[in-house]
Amino acid sequence: MTDDRIAICPECRSDQVTSEHHQAFLINTGEHYCHTMKTQDADSPSKCLECKWEGERKNLLLIDDPKAKKKEAKERAQYERLKAKFEAQP
């Protein structure tokens, strides 16, 4: 995921969820044919490792990532300290 949200199970709210990736190969040659399903596809099969829920990625709940909020606050505080230090210089 590329934003500041995490996916959680709609049943037990665990963040221990998986998404499947499927590929197709030519039977006679073993040559790779295509990626039929990618992990970011909304209809990719998903599972919860905690409660064994099964569904599709689009059914997972997205919540704000608490770690991202802490990181953002830390970076903001560091910026403010540097800004104050710079402004205090003659």
Q: What is the pLDDT of residues 35-75, one digit of tens each?
A: 888 988 999 999 999 999 999 999 999 998 877 677 777 88
DSSP secondary structure letter of residue 57: G
pLDDT over 50 at 80, yes or no: yes
- Amino acid at position 64, single letter: D
- The confidence score (pLDDT) of residue 11 equals 96
β-bridge mates for residue 61, sequence order: 8
β-bridge mates for residue 24, sequence order: 34
Quote the number of domains for the chain.
1
If pLDDT is split at 50, 70 and 90, which confidence band does 79 have? Answer: confident
- The confidence score (pLDDT) of residue 1 equals 40
Structural domain of 58? 5-88
Q: What is d(CA 68, CA 21) in angstroms, rounded to the nearest whole number?
A: 26
